[in-house]
Structure 1
Amino acid sequence: MKKIAFLLPDFQEGGMPKVASNIMSGLNSDYSQYLILLDSESEIRYEHNSKVLGVCPKGQTKLQKMKVFLKRIKIVKELKKKYHFDVVVSFGVAANIINIVSNQNEKTVCTEHNVKSIENKTWGFFGKIYDVLIKLFYSKPDHLVAISNVMKEDFIENYNLKKDIDVIYNPHKINDIIERSNEPLNSSEKELFKNKKTLINVGRLTYAKGHWHLIRVLAELKKSEPNIQLLILGQGEMEEDLKKLSEKLNIQDSIQFLGFQQNPYKFIKHSDAFVMSSLFEGFPNVLIESLACNTPIISTDCKSGPREIIDKDKNIHKKIKEFEVHEYGLITPQFDGNVILNDSKLSDSEQQLKLAILELIQNKELYDKLKANCLNKALEYDVSNMVKKYEEIFR
């Protein structure tokens, strides 16, 4: 039996742990599985069927973080020597670099989950270091996996990577999502949806998710759709700013900040539309999850992922100024990245998001058509299809 290890920073909230969990659950019985967590104090929130190996706690200051990074390389190398893994799959820059430089002749598979030339700019000092490390080391693993074609192009154009890059979309346990979406709402949760047109967004409350745009749009929507509301599921450093914005716009009664939810799918299922306002993504799992819940989707045309999901032609180079209607959802123009926490006039891209939402919730024929297409589209990304591509690499 082959030994395979999954190397991640942590196994808490976020896309990478969820993807790793789904791959682990979908692998055939040929593999003995291990989970290596760089943060040994990480809370484990996702399912796994593996032996857990913690590395060490994370540092706080820049100097501590650099020392911890070097310490982690040493410990992971020791773990590889001890367990003699056949394959080690890593997730994200820090884990990928550690996987590469600690190699002990096992097959190294590095996966990336965001457009690095954009994301690294938001990380300041460490983002610049990561840019250098990517250029130096990402040509060295046996396989480099990008989760969208936009990400693959970003590696080639901005990091001059000449090696073959595999593109594998994130796997999802569609049947599990459907089953969990059917979990009954409790009495207080039912009240949330009573006599309301409900928009929902699920994601960490960070800059990348652009929630302030969605809140500003909601304030304008309220003028013609007084019964419309927004549910926001997630936690993050922008939570207080977003709550203050909703109060400034006098729509705090129409926005529910529900925090982290163990089962977001039952909330998505009972909502009228999922709206994603992100400035950038890797591959937005939540759009697939919403389709599995039979909830129509609207997304900004951000890099990367939404167009590859919603646009059947996957025309990733297309630039738009007005919203588009496709078979699997609506796409609106990309936001410019400016944080706007006031009641100023909607920007052109915000105005297009508003018009797209109105088109979806007021056009019953369109709404029913999109709803009918949801599940079949979601099934394309089922674990049974995507994990086969990973197994080919592992072999």
Structure 2
Amino acid sequence: MLESIYIYDYYIEILELKKMNNPKIKILFLINTLTGGGAEKVLVDLVNNLNPEKYDVTVQTVFDKGVNKKYLKPEIRYKTINRFQSELLTLIWGYLVSFVLPARLIYRIFIKENYDYEVAFLEGVPTKLIAASTNINSKKYAWVHTDMSMNYGLEKVFKTLEDHKRSYKQFENIFCVSESVKEGFIKLFGWFENLSVIYNPVDNINILSKANETLIEVAIPDCIKFVAIGRLTEQKGFERLLTACNKLVVEKYNFSLWVLGEGEQREVLEKYILNNNLQNHVFLLGFHENPYKFIKAANYFVSSSYTEGFSTVVTESVIIGTPVITTDCAGMKEILGESEFGLIVPNSTEGLYEGLKKLLTNKEIYLKYNEAVKKRKDYFQLSQRMKEIETEFK
């Protein structure tokens, strides 16, 4: 008995020594917020699935808001730069951080800890701050989630395009979420030797579990059901989606469109629905924490975006097994092939109209894509994606 206790104590001592000699790798991920957007969801999935025995992970936001914050696992440390409760003070702070205060000063005051890796997980302010890091020992990584040649809205965060390019020169690795995003980066900034592609990790087990929950929020109509999900912003193309739907309603097609999400265009979309008598066809359902059961209940998922990077929600739809119709933008062919696993249409109102009409008039297409999408979902295995990511943090 005594011998067993000695062996146990010796074993514990060895473990403690190993911990001392092999401390965890400290990683910082910096992002604007943890709101319900695609990049924010991807970050939560990524950090939650990093090996907790190997990594000490901190997520820091520029602004302290977002529904995704509560989904971080307990072992993930959370910090924020701004804790103002007032909307006005938050707006002022956002202006100062983005356009006035020196990035290095903000870094020294609000980040300052010694990390082994510092990751700017989004374009704009996170990239600007990590590029100004005073930690000479850390490796610095940047993630690029959008085709910046098509969606360049960072002119004020960086004084000039050359200033923006100099910021990216401070990073050891720049990871683009798709080949199309990489091509867009090169088109805007020129060739970078340290540019590579890492596809987004998506927690397929969690998604499938939530998709199987019972949908009680809406009545299930007896017609073709489309679902679209995203922030109600111009970039997501909901106005043109409704225009396409209006043409189909005028032509007497019977269908329903559920739109999940909130944003600044809600009032515009509501007026369009009212003015065109679309109330029996188009339903703005707001934000839902579990959009997956809506995707599963629909016949098709629709993406009407003008630009994307590597669409999280399209990937999620494939995992659930719901066929997709999408406009042709960055990342879609890498998810759906050349319309092998989902229908990719021209990036226009007319393209959406013709694509939706095709799906409404041809049952064989539904059977084709319903079968094809099931074969594609195995391509998005979380374990494989995480293995690729962890090789970058040694």
Distance in 2 between residues matched to 1:145 and 1:67, nearest whole Å: 23
Normalized against structure 1, the TM-score is what?
0.84
Q: Following TM superposition, by how much is the alpha carbon of 1:178 offset from its aligned partner in structure 2, in angstroms?
A: 0.9
CA contact (8 A) 2:103 2:132 kept: no
Choose from 344, 348, 370 the match for 1:331.
Answer: 344
Percent identity, aligned pairs only, is 28
Residue type at the aligned position of 1:101: A
Distance in 1 between residues matched to 2:102 and 2:67, nearest whole Å: 21
Aligned length: 361
Taking structure 1 as reference, are residues 69 and 235 closer, same or farther at Cα in structure 2, changes over 3 Å only? farther
CA contact (8 A) 1:233 1:258 kept: yes
Residue type at the aligned position of 1:386: R
Distance in 1 between residues matched to 2:297 and 2:380, nearest whole Å: 22
Taking structure 1 as reference, are residues 103 and 19 closer, same or farther at Cα in structure 2, changes over 3 Å only? farther
CA contact (8 A) 2:236 2:305 kept: yes
Residue type at the aligned position of 1:96: T
Residue type at the aligned position of 2:193: K
Taking structure 1 as reference, are residues 154 and 205 closer, same or farther at Cα in structure 2, changes over 3 Å only? same
> Which residue in 2 is equivalent to 1:320?
none
Taking structure 1 as reference, are residues 61 and 33 closer, same or farther at Cα in structure 2, changes over 3 Å only? closer
> Which residue in 1 is equivalent to 2:202?
172
Work out whether 1:34 is the aligned partner of 2:58: yes
Q: Following TM superposition, by how much is the alpha carbon of 1:363 offset from its aligned partner in structure 2, in angstroms?
A: 2.7
> Which residue in 2 is equivalent to 1:381?
380
- SS of 2:213's equivalent in the other structure is coil
* Deviations 1:211-267, CA, capped at 9 Å, x for gaps: 111111111222455431111001111111111112222212211101111000101
For structure 1, the 5+ residue unaligned runs are 313-325, 336-349
CA contact (8 A) 1:139 1:161 kept: no
Work out whether 1:158 is the aligned partner of 2:188: yes
Q: Following TM superposition, by how much is the alpha carbon of 1:176 offset from its aligned partner in structure 2, in angstroms?
A: 1.1
* Deviations 1:94-139, CA, capped at 9 Å, x for gaps: 1012112114121111101111232224x6x526647444212112
Taking structure 1 as reference, are residues 209 and 46 closer, same or farther at Cα in structure 2, changes over 3 Å only? farther
Normalized against structure 2, the TM-score is what?
0.84
Aligned CA-pair RMSD: 2.4
> Which residue in 2 is equivalent to 1:7?
30
CA contact (8 A) 1:55 1:76 kept: no
> Which residue in 2 is equivalent to 1:47?
71
Distance in 2 between residues matched to 1:266 and 1:130, nearest whole Å: 44
Choose from 138, 141, 147 the match for 1:106.
Answer: 138
Work out whether 1:120 is the aligned partner of 2:152: yes
Residue type at the aligned position of 1:47: Y
* Deviations 1:269-306, CA, capped at 9 Å, x for gaps: 1011111111111111111111122110011112x111
Distance in 2 between residues matched to 1:221 and 1:137, nearest whole Å: 47
Taking structure 1 as reference, are residues 46 and 142 closer, same or farther at Cα in structure 2, changes over 3 Å only? farther
- Bigger Cα Rg: 2
Choose from 271, 288, 302 the match for 1:261.
Answer: 288
Choose from 238, 241, 250 the match for 1:211.
Answer: 238
Distance in 2 between residues matched to 1:208 and 1:268, nearest whole Å: 21
Distance in 1 between residues matched to 2:297 and 2:111, nearest whole Å: 46
Taking structure 1 as reference, are residues 69 and 15 closer, same or farther at Cα in structure 2, changes over 3 Å only? farther
Taking structure 1 as reference, are residues 381 and 65 closer, same or farther at Cα in structure 2, changes over 3 Å only? farther
CA contact (8 A) 1:99 1:108 kept: yes
Moved more, 162-171 or 73-82: 73-82
